[in-house]
Structure 1
């Protein structure tokens, strides 16, 4: 049997069997009343019109023509020794009954397809908005902040606060303690805003200590600080794991800051010399 990887699809039929069904339907006759002589001649006439198709595809149509001629030969002679001799398996369809069965099967699937096509299709008229990678867009517009800009934001944040704060002393909170807290709290890839981090602090001095601790982590390339527009949210993202970070190695601040009260004016002096880039 000829194997075909290419199929010809015309307006009214698909493949050689579809062509046969089309010719029968055009004559408006029942498949069971098929005139093998007439349909064979019509089929061969139609093949003459298919001159520009691919050779492999044409072979499929010629294969069906051979089957029709074989079936026709069986109808015009009654003597066994006058039948055309073929090897078993050369032709898939060798009798009129087999041909009718194939045509009826194809017709059934055609009608089923037409029925399915008329049924309402789910979400046919619904257009879904494509998913947007907001994180990728956000990362593409965020730009590193300079130390001066970051410090100005911090001072402005403190000035907007209305609450009264107490003095921070060593026995209450230290920068290294705050670093330890941030180490346990922040995860690699986590992104949050500076405002969210500072708003969770209980008093003014804790806000300042948190700010200095974040600057120290930025100096050590543990996190990045970004902003997408002037006066917009400032984002803090951990870029290197803090699991192995030893807070005792942090030395980007003056240890004396942990013993004295910290004021707005001390913020600039307490910050690391290297700005986060």
Structure 2
């Protein structure tokens, strides 16, 4: 794609911008995709002849940039089980191949002096922009799409933290009791990362008491709980 763009933090061909982002040499969140779209559309308005292959190139790269930015801004909406996000990109590249082939056939047709008639074969078109597509509509489409990428509410970091399961906590406390025979409840919860971990620890102790694996004692109403290995 020969056309170059100029941003605050990048200047050069659009395909180079995509390459730098995919190779982690540039942060996609610092790139204004609306500015990229504006510059390309302004470029289309200035040239006299608009080439289909150039438009297809831009759509392929712009689509990939939109996907990368959506992953960066909304990582919690995507899972490993989802379909390959490059499906649309493949369809756009297929359209570009059709556009290139059409241009070659047109050139050969204009040069040929002999005409041959043959019934046209049905062709499944992977992707083709609407006939009424204009630069203004493309501008509105990109602005609307970019607006949807901004998350309304960011999920707190704590929501991503893995909580130890009751089964894992049971095994952990059981190993500690086996080695120490006796210990205090305060010692078990002193290394707890948050309240959730403390609750899991307390539930695990209750389960061990139920299983008769440990016994608990308390010398006073508000004194520390003593946990001992149950006698066989």
> Which is greater in Rg?
1
Q: TM-score by structure 1 length?
A: 0.29
